[in-house]
Amino acid sequence: MHQNKPTKRRGSLVNNIVLQKCEEFISEISDFFYSDSVRKLEEMETTLKEITDRFILSLMTAYLASLDQAIVKDKAGRRKKGIVIEQRKVKREIYTIFGLLIFYRTYFRDKRNQEYVYLVDQAVGLESYKRVSGTVAVELVEHAQESSYGESSRHVTGEAISRQTVMNRVHSLKNLKIEPAEKRSVNILHVDADEDHVPLQNGHNAVVPLICIYEGVEYNGKRGRCINPHYISSYGKTTEELWLEAADWIYSSYEIDDIERIYIHGDGGLWIKEGLNWLPKAKMVLDKYHLWKSIRSATRKQPEDGKALYSAVLNDDRKAFNRIGKQLIKNAASDAEIEKIKECQKYLRNNWKAIKIYREEACGGSCTEGHVSHVLSSRLSSRPMGWSKKGLKQMAELRAYCYSGGRVRLEHLQNNQLKYSVSKKLAKIAANAFNGTTAEKRGNVTILNRGKVIPLFHWLNGLRNGNGVC
């Protein structure tokens, strides 16, 4: 019996704090509405949110204090684990969805492991040195994949935290992987492969590959949309690693025996052609954007012959191709122009089979440039910035993950190294501080007895009578 008395006193004390905070909350709301002027909607939204956020933060602070106190009082439990008190009332600040949470907790020494720990931090899942809660971190990361780190901070926290903090959370991402749903049956698969060129902080440019696996294109008027697209991107991975990931997705997501053909669309680069060695029933298709880009670059001063060359290639007419090529060289005005024409001819010959396929099979078009523009360039290379190698890798993978339909979750940001867990007994002790708000005590909330009769009063009175929750 004697051991339970301190617990009751703790509960009574914290209860008083809770009731005080409830009274302050109700008083602020009551005072806000009890006015001769009409409250505008925007004013209600802003002010009431501020009042509510402060109230919730105060309750969170009270709960953390109660939990820390329960851990401190659990001398027998701590003694078994070799944990002793090192320092009391150490301040911590962490930004939550309700604003800045400030609380004080006890610093312990773990004699068995020779470590110093904040047990209450570990108990509620707060990682060391983190400036924001997990929920806020998720919002910051999701917003950061669309805009700058600084803009993410402004949007989510009103610049309450630094862009460095946002960047650190992006850098800590892990296991961004989408699990395939039930296997689908398709006859044709398309794989678009291209790359973006992104400036690094060291002044060099980095090549960032992008692979998109999809089931075709459906149209709404003139606008086309890829069906079930899945994106793969990274920086620093080998070609083999990228295509292995692509193959793994295809084998995990589709009935392989039902696939008749996989078309790999791209500019004919060696890393793209490597996909033929990894994907079953695959054929290379030189996308028309890069086909025409190569021809136009070599025939700017002879545009009509350039169009004829384009037509000859698409129609698999080698005689016309050779004839037009000779004519272009003959009419060239400089050695530099001749060199460009010869480079174009070589490029087209090396990819002739991948161009000829347009006449042989219904291989469709491609969206390579659109994929790169939307998924990579809009965030990585369209703005004047330089990326670190780590940041570039994380952001490329994050963009691919989100554009594939993935959502950032808390598990992608936590290190899962929190060792201390609170027993049910201690958790109950901490919770009991909030459980003792009896009807009698609610009846002593003075704000409800001061005579102001406004529409809000009826709700508040119901709160006192047990029909609501503070």
With bands split at pLDDT 50, 70 and 90, how would you rate the model's confidence at 6? very low
- Tokens describing residue 139: 């919002």
For the segment 435-448, the average pLDDT, to the nearest whole number, is 52
Supply the mean pLDDT for the chain: 87
What's the confidence (pLDDT) of residue 444? 55
For the segment 305-318, the average pLDDT, to the nearest whole number, is 93
With bands split at pLDDT 50, 70 and 90, how would you rate the model's confidence at 270? very high
Report the phi/psi class of residue 457: left, alpha or beta, with left for phi > 0 and alpha for psi in -120 to 50. alpha
What's the confidence (pLDDT) of residue 470? 45
Mind listing the pLDDT tens digit for each residue in 215-268? 999 888 878 889 999 999 999 999 999 999 999 999 999 999 999 999 999 999
CA torsion 224-225-227-231 (nearest 10°) is: 130
With bands split at pLDDT 50, 70 and 90, how would you rate the model's confidence at 461? low
Residues in the chain: 470
> Nearest 5°: CA angle at 15, between 76 and 428?
40
Mind listing the pLDDT tens digit for each residue in 25-61? 888 988 888 888 899 999 999 999 999 999 999 999 9
400, pLDDT greater than 90 = yes
What's the confidence (pLDDT) of residue 450? 52
For the segment 78-86, the average pLDDT, to the nearest whole number, is 90
For the segment 446-452, the average pLDDT, to the nearest whole number, is 51
Least confident interval from 4-8, 86-90, 156-160, 323-327: 4-8
- In the chain, what percentage of residues exceed pLDDT 70? 88
Q: Mention every residue, 6+ apart, whose C-beta is less than 8 A from residue 69.
A: 10, 430
In the chain, where the domains are located: 4-127+417-464, 135-172, 188-408
Q: What is the β-pairing status of strands 205-214 and 188-199? A: antiparallel
| 336/453: higher pLDDT | 336
With bands split at pLDDT 50, 70 and 90, how would you rate the model's confidence at 10? very low
Spatial distance between the Cα atoms of 347 and 275, rounded to a whole number of angstroms: 19
Q: Are 447 and 31 in contact (CB under 8 A)?
A: no
- What is the secondary structure of 74-100 as a DSSP string? -HHHHHHHTEEEEEEEEEEEEEETTEE
Mind listing the pLDDT tens digit for each residue in 89-148? 999 999 999 999 999 999 999 888 888 989 999 889 888 888 999 999 999 999 999 999
Q: Are 56 and 93 in contact (CB under 8 A)?
A: no
Matching residue, tokens 């803009």:
151
Q: Are 262 and 281 in contact (CB under 8 A)?
A: yes
Give 233's strand partners: 210
With bands split at pLDDT 50, 70 and 90, how would you rate the model's confidence at 446? low
Sign of the four-CA dihedral 261, 267, 269, 271: negative
- Tokens describing residue 123: 């108990």
Estimate to the nearest angstrom the gap between the alpha carbon of 370 and the chain centroid. 21
Helix axes 288-298, 335-350, angle to 10 degrees: 160
9, pLDDT greater than 70 = no
Write the CA distances from 114 to 83, 84, 110, integer angstroms: 10, 11, 5
Spatial distance between the Cα atoms of 198 and 240, rounded to a whole number of angstroms: 21
- What is the secondary structure of 253-290 as a DSSP string? HB-GGG--EEEEEES--HHHHGGGGTSTTEEEEE-HHH
Position 89, amino acid: K
Least confident interval from 236-240, 278-282, 361-365, 460-464: 460-464
What's the confidence (pLDDT) of residue 436? 53
What's the confidence (pLDDT) of residue 128? 85
189, pLDDT greater than 80 = yes
